[in-house]
Amino acid sequence: MSELTDAPSKNDLRTAALARRQALSAAERDAAAAAIAARGLPVELTADAVVSGYAPIRGELDPHPLMQALGARGARLALPAVEQPGQPLRFHAWQPGDAMIRSPLGIDEPRRDAPELIPDILLVPLAAFDTLGHRIGYGAGYYDRTLEALRAARPIVTVGLAFAVQQIAAVPAAAHDVALDYVLTERETLNFRSR
């Protein structure tokens, strides 16, 4: 807590949400990923749409069941890579079973010789989210920079993936924070596009 206010800081909110996420059992995690994959995306999947997911870390909701379902429907799949610290993420083609490389941050990423793709739909990991579509990440700002750059170039749909226990009352959003279009949890689909 800050000395000037009783409102919890972003770090406090992140820590509490991550603790709730870590408390979930493996069975709860698997069931949540399966429920989201069965429900699918809240937007129409166009022919040859590029959908980028992520390699889950630290107990994040696993996007692979959803990505496999989307790939079976014709989506081209991609995963992000940190190619330069402090810069937006880059996206490379990926298919289940592809060889991965371990980044300096300890995250599995696609090989750099895989074709670079620009996503139409971006599945976004998060630590916490609120009812306005604001998210708390891990503090490095990679997704904020990436979303800003992608949206400046073309329309893109952003879909946060999270467990319901990661929802909080309000994210103390800063001017540089970019709101998501949707958040999918095992319980519901939250639509923020009309806000």
71 among annotated binding-site residues: no
Report the pLDDT value the prediction gives residue 89, as an integer from 0 to 100: 93
Report the pLDDT value the prediction gives residue 139, as an integer from 0 to 100: 76
116 among annotated binding-site residues: no
Contact assessment for residue 116 and residue 173, using Cβ atoms and an 8 Å cutoff: no
Report the pLDDT value the prediction gives residue 7, as an integer from 0 to 100: 73
10 among annotated binding-site residues: yes
54 among annotated binding-site residues: no
Architecture in CATH of 10-191: 3-Layer(aba) Sandwich (3.40)
Report the pLDDT value the prediction gives residue 5, as an integer from 0 to 100: 54
| pLDDT at 1 exceeding the cut of 70 | no
In sequence order, what DSSP letters do the residues of 37-86 get, joined into one string? HHH--SS---TT-EEE-----TTPPP-HHHHHHHHHTTPEEEEEE--STT
Please state the three-class secondary structure of 73-132 as a single string.
CCCEEEEEECCCCCCCCEEEECCCCCCEEECCCCCEEECCCCCECCCCEEEECCCEECCC
pTM score over 0.85 = yes
195 among annotated binding-site residues: no
143 among annotated binding-site residues: yes
182 among annotated binding-site residues: no
Report the pLDDT value the prediction gives residue 86, as an integer from 0 to 100: 83
At 142-163, the pLDDT tens digits run: 888 999 999 999 999 999 999 9
| pLDDT at 43 exceeding the cut of 90 | yes
**Confidence band (pLDDT; 50, 70, 90) for 39?**
very high
What's the chain's average pLDDT?
A: 91
For range 55-63, the mean pLDDT: 94
**Confidence band (pLDDT; 50, 70, 90) for 14?**
very high
Report the pLDDT value the prediction gives residue 182, as an integer from 0 to 100: 97
| pLDDT at 84 exceeding the cut of 90 | no
At 88-132, the pLDDT tens digits run: 999 999 998 888 888 877 788 888 899 999 999 999 999 999 999
Paired tokens of 113: 């010789």
Rounded-to-integer distance, Cα 136 and Cα 144, Å: 10
Report the pLDDT value the prediction gives residue 4, as an integer from 0 to 100: 52
27 among annotated binding-site residues: no
Q: What do you get for the CA distance between the two ends of the chain, in Å?
A: 29
| pLDDT at 176 exceeding the cut of 70 | no
106 among annotated binding-site residues: no
135 among annotated binding-site residues: yes
